[in-house]
Amino acid sequence: MEKFMLFFRGSDVYQPGQSPETLQNLKEKMIHWLTDLSEQGTHVASEPLETTGKQVFGSGKTVMDGPFGKSREIVGGCTIVQAKDLDAAIEIAKGCPILESNANIEVRPIQGM
């Protein structure tokens, strides 16, 4: 099995004006989805990200405040899954409930070190 990183971007849930109920509903759906992945043996790790942060640039090590681009491009979290290949990892991503909130998921293979 190979490992893949799923990057979650651009969910409407994280746009201003969303109700606490909407946020809680998505959180519950995500927990259920991740529990299912764990039971199937495909879930490795997951972490939501805060909306704040910094970027460090180039050899001058310039530090700038976030967010990091347009709000639709900000990574809101990530999950690592195990799958036999990229197509199987994409199928796992298609089951993620965050897609119901107009998000997109980037699926990338993790290189071995």
pLDDT at 11 over 80: no
pTM for the predicted model, two decimal places: 0.86
Extents of the domains making up the chain: 2-109
Residues whose CB falls within 8 Å of the CB of residue 63, separated by 6 or more in sequence, listed in order: 54, 55, 56, 57
Residues whose CB falls within 8 Å of the CB of residue 61, separated by 6 or more in sequence, listed in order: none
Mean pLDDT of the chain: 89
pLDDT digits (tens, 9 = 90+) for 53-79: 888 888 889 998 876 666 667 788 899
Q: What is the pLDDT of residue 70?
A: 63
**Domain made up of 2-109: CATH architecture:** 2-Layer Sandwich (3.30)
